[in-house]
Structures are given as structure tokens and as C-alpha cells.
């Protein structure tokens, strides 16, 4: 079966980022990425989103009693940012989270979460049902084994969610390598060759 879902491009005006449960307790169980790589991808996504001035919504689950706080590198990348702590399995089921997402005013939502098949997938699929266009940054959404990863990707695509890597989504939003934000976006994503972007910008 061919999936013909091909939404209009992501832009700085229509996109927001939603980060779900990147908590220290959950991160210890990740098996599809190294912890260092997953942290790099999540923080890179956040820093690129900030460089593009995108709204960012963040959540945790029972941080005091269950999974602990957001991992330190993420908290450092979002100083003074409020992580909405909840008990619901699906982040969207918490009214504060839903309200924060809707308050962004954006129609396209980029989700990432630990774990991929629950924390990222459940609200992403709900967003589609609520009339949003939904994306999951897979490389910022680790999980606990291969089966969970593979079945999550199938379920997401069946539900009409676009799956991609975070860097591709941010570069789609950037749109023009000559823009003032380009160097900051590529640097945030950890692309060593991003110096080329500065050369393009200076010659434009």
C-alpha cells in the first residue's frame, strides 16, 4: 500500500516542537541509539528550533516519583523553560499540555519522545486526529528494543504521521542556506561542515 500523504512544507510560521519525557530514568533503557548520540540529537533539535524561533513545548511524567527530571543537557539547553509534569500516559490527555500545544498557534507539530512508540507516538497520532499535521523526529526518540522501534514506525505511518530525522525537519524549516539563521542551525545540529554555510551567506 502506498502512503500518498505529502503535506505542505514546514516553515518557521507553521511549525512547533513538542518534546515528551526525555527523562534520566527512561534514557537509561534506550537500546536503539547510544545515550550520547540520543542526547546529541535531542539537544541539537532543541538548539536548532531555538535558532529558528520555533515554539517548544516540553513535558515529563511523574518526575518526582517515577522517571526523574529531564536529562541535564536538555535542561541546560532550555534555561528557565517549564517542563509540564503529568501522570497521563498520552501527553495530549493532560489538559495543560494540550492547551500549551494549541497556544502555539501552529498547525504542524514535530514530536520527539522517550519512548518512541508511546511518548512520541501517542500524542503524535492524537494530533492527527485533532486536525494537526504531525511529524516525529525518530532520531530524537529512542526506545528499548528493535521490535518497539520497527512497530512504532509502521504504526506512525499507518496513522498518517510523517517520520523523519530531526536535522532534516529543521533544514526544511530553514529553507535558505543564505539566511541569517543558517550558521546557527547547522552548528546546533553538530554538522562540522557548517562553515560552508557561512561562505554561502557571505557570497550571497
Active-site residue set: 119
Burial class (CB in 10 A: 0-12, 13-18, 19+), 34: exposed
CB atoms within 10 A of CB 159: 16
| Integer Cα distance of 96 and 39 in angstroms | 26
- The distance from CA 191 to its chain's CA centroid, rounded to whole angstroms, is 18
Q: What is the largest CA-CA distance in the chain?
A: 54
**Cβ contact 134:124 at 8 Å:** yes
C-alpha cell at 43: 539537544
| Integer Cα distance of 19 and 114 in angstroms | 9
Amino acid at each position: 500500500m502506498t502512503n500518498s500523504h505529502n503535506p505542505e512544507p514546514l516553515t518557521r510560521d507553521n511549525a512547533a516542537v513538542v518534546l515528551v519525557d526525555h527523562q534520566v530514568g527512561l534514557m537509561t533503557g534506550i537500546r536503539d541509539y547510544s545515550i550520547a548520540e540520543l542526547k546529541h540529537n535531542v539537544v541539537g533539535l532543541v538548539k536548532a528550533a531555538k535558532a529558528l524561533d520555533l515554539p517548544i513545548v516540553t513535558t515529563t511524567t511523574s518526575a518526582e516519583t517515577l522517571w526523574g527530571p529531564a536529562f541535564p543537557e536538555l535542561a541546560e539547553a532550555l534555561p528557565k523553560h517549564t517542563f509540564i509534569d503529568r501522570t497521563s500516559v498520552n501527553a495530549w490527555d493532560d489538559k495543560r499540555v494540550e492547551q500549551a500545544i494549541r497556544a502555539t498557534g501552529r498547525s504542524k507539530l514535530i514530536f520527539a519522545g522517550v519512548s518512541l512508540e508511546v511518548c512520541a507516538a501517542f500524542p503524535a497520532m492524537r494530533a492527527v486526529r485533532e486536525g494537526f499535521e504531525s511529524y516525529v523526529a525518530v532520531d530524537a526518540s529512542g526506545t528499548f528494543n528493535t521490535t518497539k522501534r520497527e512497530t512504532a514506525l509502521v504504526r506512525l505511518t499507518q496513522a498518517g504521521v510523517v517520520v523523519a530525522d530531526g536535522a532534516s525537519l529543521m533544514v526544511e524549516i530553514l529553507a535558505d542556506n543564505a539566511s541569517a539563521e543558517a550558521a546557527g542551525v547547522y552548528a546546533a545540529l553538530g554538522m562540522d561542515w557548517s562553515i560552508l554555510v557561512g561562505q554561502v551567506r557571505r557570497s550571497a
